[in-house]
């Protein structure tokens, strides 16, 4: 029976071998890589927040997982601000789900920092939409993170579907 190190080395060699052959390569969505060009005026919604002490790790910076909470809160506020209600959508058999999240961390927030979380939406495919989200520290408006959150809607049959009503409300025609 192989020991831990031999087993791990075998797995590692398999991963490296696949990558050399082009398989299993992790790729980044070009939309996130190219969204450096966005400015505050390009976003359709934003909200201000403040870092709380308990969101920071032992290094004194916001823990990486907390940024997803900030991004989710912003998306939920946006959806509510345009008159959509998650409970009512669910009753209608429309369930909004996140399919993928990609975050590029630029610089850390620390306790007490005030910041703006901003978003814009884009249609990515017939079945997918994307929230392009940035977080800017106040008062200097320094870009702290940029993210792409890819979502879809699941219908009553459990299949991806973007109802035309959502497309219209979001202006994604």
Backbone phi, psi, residue 95, to 5°: -115, 115
- Taking the CA atoms of the chain, what radius of gyration do you get in angstroms? 20
Nearest alpha-carbon partner for 130 in 88, 101, 93:
101
Q: How far is CA 149 from CA 29, 83, 152, in A?
A: 11, 21, 10
CA dist., res. 22 & res. 108, Å (int): 33
User: Which of these is catalytic: 29, 42, 53, 57?
Assistant: 57
CA dist., res. 67 & res. 54, Å (int): 13
CA dist., res. 82 & res. 75, Å (int): 11
How far, rounded to the nearest angstrom, does the alpha carbon of residue 151 sit from its chain's CA centroid? Answer: 9
Q: How far is CA 147 from CA 50, 85, 115, in A?
A: 19, 24, 15
Q: Is 57 labeled as catalytic in the residue annotation?
A: yes
The catalytic residue positions are 57
């Amino acid at each position: 029976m192989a020991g831990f190190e031999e087993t791990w080395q075998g797995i590692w060699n398999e991963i490296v071998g696949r990558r050399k052959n082009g398989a299993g390569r992790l790729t980044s969505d070009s939309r996130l890589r190219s969204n450096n060009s966005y400015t505050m005026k390009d976003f359709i919604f934003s909200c201000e927040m403040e870092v709380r002490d308990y969101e920071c790790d032992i290094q004194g910076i916001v823990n990486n997982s907390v940024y997803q909470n900030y991004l989710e809160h912003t998306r939920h506020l946006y959806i509510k601000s345009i008159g959509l209600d998650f409970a009512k959508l669910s009753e209608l058999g429309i369930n909004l789900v996140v399919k993928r999240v990609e975050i590029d961390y630029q610089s850390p927030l620390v306790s007490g920092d005030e910041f703006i979380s901003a978003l814009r939406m884009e249609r990515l495919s017939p079945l997918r939409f994307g929230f392009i989200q940035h977080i800017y520290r106040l008062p200097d408006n320094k870009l702290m993170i940029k993210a792409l959150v890819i979502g879809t809607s699941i219908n009553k049959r459990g299949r991806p579907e973007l109802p035309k009503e959502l497309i219209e409300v979001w202006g994604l025609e």
